[in-house]
Amino acid sequence: MGNASSSQQGAQSETPTYFTQEELNKLKSEFATGGVEKIKPLLEKKVNELDNTELNIAVTGETGAGKSTFINAMRGLCSEDEGAAAVGTTETTMEPTGYTHPYLPNVRYWDLPGTGSTRFTAGSYLKKMQFKTYDFFIIVAAGRFTENDAKLAKEIKRLGKEFYFVRSKIDADLNSMRQQRDEFDEDAEMGKIRSDCVSQLGKAGIPDPNVFLISSLMKNMYDFYWLMKALADGLPNIKKSVFVLALPNDSVEVIGKKVEVLKKRIWMLAIMSGVVGSIPVPGLSAACDMGIVIGAIIYFRKCLCLDDAALGRLALRTGKSVEDLKGEVKSSLLGELTAPVILRLCLGAVAIGVSVVEVFFYFIPGIGSLFGAGSSFGMTYWILNDALKLLMETAVKVLAVAKRAQ
């Protein structure tokens, strides 16, 4: 595993896809022999799989390393928010504590008892902590990593799971150094801290470890972004997409990655929305399954942290009301969603304008043209694309409001 500085030089990972090559081949084959009706059940199964895929992330390390603060940061919560992990408490339990993601209930972060708070062997510890439950492990330290941390990492690797070293509270360390010196080079000091971590772990038997220097209170600084990228890149297709959607909206880049993932769901929902056919303009509200459309937009809002619960948390931090926030960002998609609301917004207007023109979609390489843009597929597809674009713009505005309040 390379260190964080080398990770920063790597190319950006591709957006996760929902399908394996085997699944794509089956879609092509089924479409060729039975058309849309044949692939619709396969897509329904895939959407259901997406909604029910579990992601369990274990966070371990010695007591006082900042595990709870880190878990809250990963869930987009402050310590005062409902459901937040308690910060600054003395560790007394030897049982894993699970914290559900605020809008994706199948994503859970698990706070494992500190490795330094008990006598254990790495193997017995992992057995007691229900090792097989977790997709990967994050080992957190506030200072130097210990021999116990290294032993645990070696055992995790032996058992075939991924692990990542996180050096927390780097902001406090750098501030302390800054106050003690007349001249201070932050990048150079971070390099020294990282090299020391790598050296200590190397002596303990972890060659070339990947170490991320972060502050859970300053997620837009240090190695936090590169940690998120590494965690996502270490997951298979669907779990990678779930992880991306579970990230807190801390940057425009994260919002963009979420939108890319959500776009991949739109064409599946469009196929599921109804029977192919031309659409008279007056019947637009019946041109597609409004239940699917409205349900998708509600899901998009949650993933982009635009639902009332997420806006309520932001309102508490900014001293505003939820209604004030909605008024500030001015988006009709944040209110009650009905067919008339969607009609008034002219979502899907492009599809009306080209209703007699065949549009070629290449969502699945090799399938080619599916429907004309005037079909129920076309209407649902264009409505959801327009809605997602509007929600992305709204999410960026909300991010700007949050940053002004910091």
Amino acid letter for position 367 = I
Cα–Cα dist 396/253, whole Å: 10
The residues with which 55 forms a beta bridge, in sequence order, are 107
How many other CB atoms are there within 10 angstroms of residue 105's CB atom?
10
Handedness of CA 118, 73, 106, 100 (dihedral sign): positive
Out of 194-198, 203-207, 372-376, least confident range: 372-376
> Scanning the structure block, which residue is given the tokens 């994503």?
107
Q: Is the confidence at residue 362, as pLDDT, over 70?
A: no
Q: Are 138 and 110 in contact (CB under 8 A)?
A: no
pLDDT at 12: 34
State percent of the chain over pLDDT 90: 25
Q: What residues contact residue 139 under an 8 Å CB cut-off, 6+ apart?
A: 60, 61, 145, 149, 152, 153, 163, 164, 165, 166
* Cβ atoms 265, 295 nearer than 8 A: no
pTM of the model: 0.82
The most confident of 37-41, 107-111, 114-118, by mean pLDDT: 107-111
To 5 degrees, how large is the angle CA 285–CA 304–CA 307? 70
Q: Dig out the tokens for 217 from the structure.
A: 């209170």
Q: Is the pLDDT of residue 108 over 60?
A: yes
Cα–Cα distance for residue pair 125/221, rounded to 1 Å: 33
The H-or-E segment that residue 110 falls in is: strand 107-111
Backbone φ and ψ for 268, nearest 5 degrees, come out as -65, -45
In this structure, the number of other CB atoms found within 10 A of the CB of residue 319 comes to 8
CB 39 within 8 A of CB 27: yes
Distance CA 310, CA 299 (A): 13
Write down the pLDDT at residue 335: 84
**DSSP of 215-233:** -TT-TTSTTHHHHHHHHHH
User: Tokens standing for 330?
Assistant: 């001015």
Q: Which pLDDT belongs to residue 372?
A: 43
Domains of the chain, earliest start first = 54-243 (3.40.50.300), 249-405 (no CATH)
Q: Given a cut of 60, is residue 2 above it in pLDDT?
A: no
Collapse the DSSP code of 100 into the 3-class scheme (helix H, G, I; strand E, B; otherwise coil) and give the result. Answer: strand
Contact 269, 84 (CB under 8 A): no
For 55, which DSSP code? E
Bridge partners (DSSP) of residue 110 are 58, 98
Q: Do 306 and 398 contact (CB within 8 A), yes or no?
A: yes
